[in-house]
Structure 1
Amino acid sequence: MRKVIVCTFLTLDGVMQAPGGPDEDPTSGFEHGGWQKPVSDDEVGEAIAGWYEPADAMLLGRKTYEIFASYWPTADPGNPFTERMNAMHKYVASRTLTSVDWQNSSLLEGDVVDAVRALKASEGGDINVVGSGDLAQTLMRHGLVDEYRLTVHPVIIGSGKRLFADGAVPTALEPVSVTTTKSGTVLAVYRTNGEPTYDSY
């Protein structure tokens, strides 16, 4: 069975909104777009590239799809990630889009939960959920996330969309690897492991 893996950049206070630039996602008056680059380093880029190696597809919500589709098709071909992003299959979850034009993209049909269950049961490699906070939370609520690959950056911004928002389903996690880069970014990979257990001291 294919794994669904949530790959997300986070601030220390859990914000995932608009890491890439000021205009990436200004919804709800968000004023901190572009927070990632000043607190990142080459080790983060190497780790992200490694996280994509076993994957052969991405699962994207509408907003993230539109951001990526406006950038990667014409991105610097000298960037080795450009070819990878364009070549991977992109599954897009949207209730409003009627077509997707970025190469190797297709719209999921019907209920997104049923569609992702079918994808997990199909032949192929890992499926990375990139950005797409609303979609990620839907998948979390239905127990469809197998693993989290998170970069937690040393910055607090106090507002914005969070990956683990109010109402997140309690989930136990098993650490796969946790390291820290020279810039202080935590590279954390966790596998979901059922429900949390509780005890007292």
Structure 2
Amino acid sequence: MGEIVVVENVTLDGVMQAPGGPAEDTRGDFRFGGWARPYADQVSAATMGKGMSEDGALLLGRRTYLDLHGFWAKQDDGNPYTEVLNRKTKYVVSRTLAEPLPWEHSVLLGGEPTDAVARLRADLTAPVVVLGSGMLVRALAAAGLVDRYVLSIHPLVLGSGTRLFGAGAAAYRELTLVETVTSTTGVIIATYRP
């Protein structure tokens, strides 16, 4: 059975919305897009790069898939993430997209999201990494389908924005801390298991 691994950037108050750039996700008049960028360093890059280089696939919600495709599929600057993202199989949970999907190595998972992911998890042997995809992550957590969380916790409080464990998140759930790495900019990369 495969393992579902949620990898997220979050603030101390749990905001996960638009860590990469101002235009990434402005829903709800969110104006703090790009909040994670000033905290990037070699420690974070090496830690996240190690996970990205492992075998396995990506699992993405529709919005995150389209956002990633819109940026990464067009990059030709030699960034190692480009090659990894282009070569990995990308499973996309969506009720509105249709095949063929625009990005190479993309597979549409239609139907009820948690049922589709449960079947995928049972069929695979390597980890499946979820990036972004907040609605999907909350649904998977509520269904008990997340095996590991890798959270880059930034020393920042925004006070508004979509939270990782906000509305629709699983009710009471205990997590066990299994590893931490602290970056030079104060980001704690914490790995938890339910």
Normalised by the size of structure 2, how large is the TM-score?
A: 0.94
Count of matched residue pairs: 192
Shift of 1:109: 2.3
Q: Which has the larger radius of gyration?
A: 1
Distance in 1, Cα, partners of 2:40 & 2:97 = 33
Describe how 1:56-75 pairs up with structure 2 within 5 A: 56-75=56-75
Describe how 1:1-201 pairs up with structure 2 within 5 A: 1-99=1-99, 100-166=101-167, 167-192=169-194
Distance in 1, Cα, partners of 2:149 & 2:53 = 15
Distance in 2, Cα, partners of 1:60 & 1:74 = 18
- What are the superposed Cα offsets for residues 38-88 of structure 1, whole Å, 9 maximum, x if unpaired? 122121111111122334111101110011000111113411111001101
Q: Which amino acid aligns with 1:61?
A: G
Shift of 1:13: 1.0
Distance in 1, Cα, partners of 2:174 & 2:130 = 20
Consecutive unaligned residues in structure 1, runs of 5 or more: 193-201
- What are the superposed Cα offsets for residues 82-116 of structure 1, whole Å, 9 maximum, x if unpaired? 10011011011112112321010011022111111
Distance in 1, Cα, partners of 2:129 & 2:93 = 13
Distance in 1, Cα, partners of 2:124 & 2:24 = 34
Answer whether contact 1:39 1:155 (CA < 8 A) is retained.
no
Shift of 1:169: 2.3
Answer whether contact 1:3 1:125 (CA < 8 A) is retained.
yes
The list of structure 1 runs, each at least 4 consecutive aligned residues, that deviate by more than 3 angstroms after superposition, is none
Shift of 1:25: 0.5
Distance in 2, Cα, partners of 1:124 & 1:75 = 30
Answer whether contact 2:95 2:111 (CA < 8 A) is retained.
no
RMSD: 1.2
- What are the superposed Cα offsets for residues 163-199 of structure 1, whole Å, 9 maximum, x if unpaired? 011453221212110121110000100111xxxxxxx
Aligned-partner SS, 2:125 = coil
Distance in 2, Cα, partners of 1:123 & 1:187 = 26
Aligned-partner SS, 2:179 = strand
Distance in 2, Cα, partners of 1:80 & 1:168 = 34
Distance in 2, Cα, partners of 1:132 & 1:175 = 22
